[in-house]
Amino acid sequence: MPDEPAPVKIGNVLHPVADVAAAVRFYGETFGLGARFVDGDRYAQLDAGGTALALAGPEEDVTGGVAAASFKVPDVQAALTALIDAGGSVLRDAEQGPHEVRAVAKDPWGNTLVVYGPR
Instruction: Give the other-Cβ count within 10 Å of 52's Cβ.
Output: 21
pLDDT of 99 reads: 84
Averaged confidence pLDDT in the chain = 91
| Long-range contacts formed by 27-34: CB under 8 A, 24+ apart | 27/53, 27/55
pLDDT value at 110 more than 90: no
Q: How confident is the model at residue 1 (pLDDT cuts 50, 70, 90)?
A: low
Average pLDDT over residues 43-68: 91
Contact 71, 104 (CB under 8 A): no
Mean pLDDT computed over 91-119:
91
Q: What is the percent of the chain where pLDDT is above 70?
A: 98
Residue ranges of domains in the chain, CATH in brackets: 9-117 (3.10.180.10)
